[in-house]
Amino acid sequence: MLFSFSYSQSNICVKIDEFEDTKSYSVNTRVVTDLPDDKTKGIVWDVYFKEDKKGNVKMDNLMLSVIGLSCIEQGSELFVIFEDGEKITLTNWNKFNCDDNWWSVFNDKLFTTKIKKVKFTNKQNYKSYIFDVSGKELSDFFINLHNDVNEGNTNGFEECK
C-alpha cells in the first residue's frame, strides 16, 4: 500500500525561524485517499495556515497532491457532498503544472459538516477520482483541524519536532 493515515490530537505544530523572526504552521499528519482498485493513485490532502494581524492562526488554503492524473490544469475542480446533502465546488486557482499540485481557498462548510463523498476532476484531460469517505478519516478531518486551530489560538501550539 502506498498510502496510510493517522490522526492525533494537537495535529498542528509551529516552526519558529529565529533568524527571520517568522512562524510557520503545519499539519503533523496528512489525510490520504487512495483508489480501492489501485493503491498507487489518489490524493494527499494538505492545509496551509496563516496568521492574521492579531496573531490568530487560520486555515488559509487547501492543497492537494493528485497522484496519477497527469498534469493539473487551472480550473480543475473538487466537488464535495456533505452528510447533510449540501454540495460545494472548490476550483483550482493554481496555474497549469505537472507537479500534481492543486490549490483552493477553503469553504467554511468544511469546518462544520462531515464530508460524505468527494470527486476530483482534472480539467486537462477530464479524468476523475471519486471517493466515498463516510466514516473515514477525511469525513471529519477539517472539523478536527478547525477545532485544533481554535484550541491552539487559545492555548498555544506545540513546536514542530
Q: For residue range 38-48, what is the model confidence (pLDDT) as tens digits?
A: 888 999 999 99
Q: Specify the higher pLDDT residue, 153 or 3.
A: 153
34 lies in some domain: yes
pLDDT at 8 over 80: no
70 lies in some domain: yes
pLDDT at 81 over 70: yes
pLDDT at 3 over 60: no
Q: Which three cell numbers stand for residue 114?
A: 462531515
Strand blocks (E) in the chain: 12-17, 22-27, 31-35, 38-51, 57-67, 77-82, 87-91, 101-105, 115-121, 128-132, 158-159
**Res 98: pLDDT:** 95
Question: What is the number of domains present in the chain?
Answer: 1
161 lies in some domain: no
132 lies in some domain: yes
Distances in Å between the Cα of 101 and the Cα atoms of 104, 106, 111, 126, 143 are 10, 16, 22, 16, 23
Mean pLDDT of 48-58: 94
Q: Residue 87 is which amino acid?
A: K
Q: Identify which of 25-34, 44-53, 62-71, 85-94 has the greatest average pLDDT.
A: 85-94
pLDDT at 108 over 80: yes
As a whole number of angstroms, the distance between CA 96 and CA 92 comes to 9
3 lies in some domain: no
1 lies in some domain: no
23 lies in some domain: yes
Question: What domain range is 145 assigned to?
Answer: 12-154
As a whole number of angstroms, the distance between CA 11 and CA 37 comes to 30
47 lies in some domain: yes
Is residue 91 a contact partner of residue 77, using CB atoms and an 8 Å limit?
Answer: yes
